[in-house]
Amino acid sequence: MEKRDKIYEGKAKILYTTDDPNLIIQYFKDDATAFNAAKRGTIAQKGVMNNQISTKIFEFLKEEGIPTHYEKTLSDREMLVKKVDIVPVEVIIRNVAAGSLCRSLGIEEGKELSCSILEFCYKEDKLNDPLINEYHIRALGLATDEEVETIKKYTFKINELMTRFFNSLNIDLIDFKLEFGRFEGQIILADEISPDTCRLWESGTGRKLDKDRFRKDLGNIEEAYQEVLNRVSK
Ligand code: TMP
Sequence spans of domains, the chain? 3-82, 85-220
Q: Distance from the CA of 71 to the center of ligand 1, in angstroms?
A: 25
Instruction: Please report the pLDDT score of residue 46 as a whole number.
Output: 98
The closest-lying atom of ligand 1 relative to the alpha carbon of residue 36 is 18
Question: Candidates 197, 212, 215: which one to mutate for ligand 1, based on the most atoms within 8 Å of Cβ?
Answer: 197
For ligand 1, atom 7, which residue shows the shortest CA distance?
Answer: 176
Fold topology of 85-220: D-amino Acid Aminotransferase; Chain A, domain 1 (3.30.470)
Instruction: Please report the pLDDT score of residue 108 as a whole number.
Output: 98
For ligand 1, atom 13, which residue shows the shortest CA distance?
Answer: 197
pTM of the entire predicted model: 0.97
For ligand 1, atom 14, which residue shows the shortest CA distance?
Answer: 197
Q: Distance from the CA of 4 to the center of ligand 1, in angstroms?
A: 31
Q: Is domain 3-82 given the CATH code 3.40.50.150 in the classification?
A: no
Residue 204 CB partners (closer than 8 Å, separation 6+): 170
Q: pLDDT tens digits, the chain, 234 residues: what are they?
A: 788 999 999 999 999 999 999 999 999 999 999 999 999 999 999 999 999 999 999 999 999 999 999 999 999 999 999 999 999 999 999 999 999 999 999 999 999 999 999 999 999 999 999 999 999 999 999 999 999 999 999 999 999 999 999 999 999 999 999 999 999 999 999 999 999 999 999 999 999 999 999 999 999 999 999 999 999 998
Q: Distance from the CA of 28 to the center of ligand 1, in angstroms?
A: 18
Residues with CB under 6 A from ligand 1: 92, 98-101, 129, 175-177, 197-199
Which residues lie across from 189 on neighbouring strands? 68, 180
For ligand 1, atom 15, which residue shows the shortest CA distance?
Answer: 197
Q: Distance from the CA of 118 to the center of ligand 1, in angstroms?
A: 12
The closest-lying atom of ligand 1 relative to the alpha carbon of residue 100 is 2
Side-chain-facing half-sphere of 98: CA atoms under 13 Å: 24
Q: Distance from the CA of 104 to the center of ligand 1, in angstroms?
A: 13
Question: Candidates 92, 131, 176, 214: which one to mutate for ligand 1, based on the most atoms within 8 Å of Cβ?
Answer: 92
85-220 shares the fold of 3-82? no
Instruction: Please report the pLDDT score of residue 194 as a whole number.
Output: 98
Distance of CA 182 to the CA centre of its chain: 17
